[in-house]
Structure 1
Amino acid sequence: MDNKQEDQNFDDERSAGDIRKINLIHGILFLLMVICVPAILYLLQSFVINGSIPDEIVIKYFILDYDDPNFVSYFLSNYIHNPLNPGHIEDNLRTFILISVVIYGEFFLVFPALDLHMPKKTVPIIYFIFFFLVPFSVSGISVIFRNTGGFADEVKYSLGFSGIVWEFMGFLMFLSSFMFARLITRKICRTSHSEKSVNMEYFPFLFFVAFLIFIPVYIIIFDINSNVNPFAHLAGFSYGWLIPPVVASMLIYGDIRHKVSNIILILLLTGIPVLTSFAI
């Protein structure tokens, strides 16, 4: 990649003033998102509760019925909550806000302080995929596990924002891993390059990454055989890890073939579970 392409793709090639301005704009947009998402979900929930949306529409399109799913319910069921359980939406949004605040602090405060930068537009593209593509996949994976015996037969439907919340948890784990990987690489470049010294740095890092992956997975597993949908949580967490590196890789390279191949990979990652769920 030539210098011109690098300038186009990395914020750390810009001046310090430009970086601060970009971080400020992105930070403001991020905070607006954190405010708007709960507001929209509460508004949608109020429409369901007060009958503004007819019950037959809610049942058909806002609740994922495992025995009669449809493409619209694959998406909308991720944004509606059990109207008989106010704690359902409150718990999900409380967790979403908490994780979002931590992501904001790490990405917009810690990263610049450590002189770490992701490719431009990484976060907006990731969030677009999280909110508008991955919900279909989360529902598709839930249907697959339901139809293959992962759920008890009496579990008939699914709804809730928790699968998307777990996407952001996965994204937070990815950001933390990326940060430590860059710091370790920077340290190795400044010190000895012997194989032993490299291993001494990377083995603890690999343990750290495994810890970030398996602890949430075990937490999710505890919900198996409960009234919670652990497979939606596991799917969301997995996509939170999988999507960011693909998006960042797509933005780094100027080669159009590389960009197209990464777009195809994203579509395959999100589309295959949906198509499979309709096929089985």
Structure 2
Amino acid sequence: MRSLRLAAATVACLSAVALLSACDPEGTDTGDSAASGAPSAVPSTPAAAKSPAAKSPAAKTSATPAATSPATPGKAGRLPAGVWVDPKAVPLNAALHWRAPGPAKVLGEQGKLQIETLCHTRRDEYHAEVAMVETASLGGASGDWKADETIASYGSGADSSGVIQTTYALMGVFAQGVKDCAATAPGAKVTVVAEDVDHLFADVTLPQADGSTVVVHEFLVSNRGSIAELTLRADLPAGARPKTAWTAPADRQALSDALGKPACTAFKDCV
């Protein structure tokens, strides 16, 4: 009799387990999932994965190892030292003896080019952030020209068409911002000297509220995942001229190469 009672108890327990397994932890019917053997709960897809496009270039490229890996070991988010222009290639070097750009100042993901600040340019939300933006001075003097280089970079573009396309689009945004300067900075005058998809050379004159004038020779060059801005700027009192007469570069292609190639060389993705 004792054996029969144990057997009956065992059957009752097994029946209870079977009934519980037919329901989920909340007591709701699992339906087709239980019948098919599929998991009763599926992890939800992150919003970023559902979105067809990221809101900003930095977000768009964040899944790309080349865009997120530190440019220099131990210095995440910093540009490699070799990205900067050779000062001997910068216009007016014979007269002003530019120094090597540095020390570099980190501007952050929303850092602006010099021309954007001067022209009060506002980028759209998609292009608001760039992975790495740094600026460095090449020297200069009061009443004469000063030179600065600013680099906006998503990192290496060697293995990512997305990085290259995003950089290409950002170059277009920067170039249009220069050409629209007269609309965003009242009184500004812009003369485009040369332009194609990879570079823009322009002369910009910006009158200031105190009667002074800022004269700018702007050079923008895009290469792979980076855009380099070289700005030669003179801040002049009313009616004054720079101490050193401006001489345009004799070989614009040589200047384009001097600005564009260091970044792709530093990131080891030149083609």
Structure number with bigger Rg = 2
TM-score by length of 1: 0.24
Q: Kindly indicate which of the two structures has a greater share of residues assigned to helix.
A: 1
TM-score by length of 2: 0.24
